[in-house]
Amino acid sequence: MMEAVFSHDPVDQGPPRQKSSRVLRNIYIMLAYAFDSIEEAEAASFATEEFEHLHDLCAEIMLQGVQAQQQRGLHHDYVSQAEELSTIRGRIDFASTLSWGARSRGAVVCEYADYVADTPHNQVLKCVLSLLLTEGEVQTDRRWRLRDALGYFSEVSSISPYSIGWRDIHYTRMTSKYRLMHGVCRLVIEGLLQREAEKGRVLSSWLDEKVESALYERFLLRYFQQHYPQLSVGAPKVPWDIEETISGAEQLPSMFTDVTMSDGFSSLIIDAKYYATSMQYGRSGVPKVQSPHLYQLLSYVDNLAATGARNVAGILLYTKTDEAICPNLDTTIRGHQIAAKALDLTAPWQDVRAQLNSVVDWSPLNPKR
């Protein structure tokens, strides 16, 4: 099933983030992790290419993915058909033959299955290739390649981007290579596509912040799952440490963590924060860690510790902004390591990896501490 990677609660909108070529490549890597396709990202032939626009990056990912899939063979599936024929094909539907009056015309109604490429997997690709071609800010050479790529889908139906049932798209070993391409498709549709009454459909120049925030959360989870297999890594629900409930227990909000890592003795909770501004400013004008975020993290840590988990730490992991001062908190509160840090996604990928690994090194999960 197509995972709801981009489903997320609203976040505050802010000024556009830096859109350097390095940021665009790191967006690609985040997508690859989110859709369990990092091997494809590492093998991509455009790893060092400079991109000027997000639309160009999306187009290139799609083009290379479609070309590779076409060489393997586009996904085909059996589609049931019922048709009035003069010769028998498949199974005769006697009831329909009689009710349609086909027999009087010397025909029979047959039910059969065609092995066709007109499947939801391919319909999604055709839809977004067309969007990028008609609405995207794509370089001329890629525009020609998009036209050529659409030729592979001549037998595939054109569909509306708003009609796609993501939850109905499933993957097998034979269709696993579609995951990343579909991830890009969903990014384009849910993060870029806008409706305008006069112009019809248009693609915005940068991602909707809600979509990018959800992608950031999913990327962090998948990154730590892949690179720390010796740990239990998930996004579990933390139960409230309730001593006694007189009434209304169902009204307590759920506490779902973004990432929780454990070695069976120590635990680390990572709360992903993707905001245009990461600090808050009071009357003094001194930048502070945002209090609601800190209170939320402390609630997670305290309630998880109350379940019997020992040595629980927590970190607010913001994405670095262009603010003069970014989160850089490292303290102990009620016996728990608590931090707020900023992840610089504009850095080269090897530096981003080092920053992520340093989060684990900082925590009680580091055996050398």
Residue numbers of the domain that contains 112: 77-116
Are 123 and 159 in contact by the 8 Å Cβ rule? The answer is yes
Domain match, 50 and 189 both: yes
229 part of a folded domain: yes
CATH of the domain at 234: 3.40.1350
As a whole number, mean pLDDT of residues 77-81 equals 78
Give the CA count within 13 Å in the CB-facing half-sphere of 124: 24
Same structural domain for residues 100 and 66?
Answer: no
Same domain, 173 and 88: no
Instruction: For 53-179, list the strands marked E by DSSP.
Output: 77-85, 91-92, 108-116
φ, ψ at 314 (rounded to 5°)? -145, 145
Note whether 26 and 108 are same-domain residues: no
The torsion region of residue 308 among left (phi > 0), alpha (psi -120 to 50) and beta comes to left
**What pLDDT was estimated at residue 271?**
96
Report the share of the chain in percent with pLDDT over 70.
88
pLDDT digits 0-9 by tens, 30-67? 888 988 887 776 656 555 567 778 899 899 999 999 99
What is the count of structural domains for the chain? 3
Q: Is residue 7, in this structure, part of any structural domain at all?
A: no
Q: Is the pLDDT of residue 20 over 70?
A: no
From the number of C-beta atoms within 10 Å of its C-beta (0-12, 13-18, 19+), residue 164 rates as buried
**169 and 91 co-located in one domain:** no
Dihedral of CA 160/163/164/168: which sign? negative
Q: Are residues 32 and 180 in the same domain?
A: yes
Q: How far out from the chain centre does Cα 355 lie? A: 21
Region 85-103 average pLDDT: 74
The pairing of strands 279-281 and 329-333 is unpaired
More confident residue, 83 or 337: 337
Please indicate, yes or no, whether the overall pTM of this predicted structure exceeds 0.75.
yes
Using alpha carbons only, what angle is made at residue 140 by residues 137 and 143, rounded to the nearest 5 degrees?
75
Q: Is the pLDDT of residue 367 over 80?
A: no
Determine, yes or no, domain membership for 173. Answer: yes
Question: CA gyration radius for the chain?
Answer: 25
SS3 28: helix
Within this chain, do residues 145 and 277 fall inside the same structural domain, yes or no?
A: no
Alpha-carbon distance 209 to 211, whole Å? 5
- Say whether both 257 and 349 belong to one domain: yes
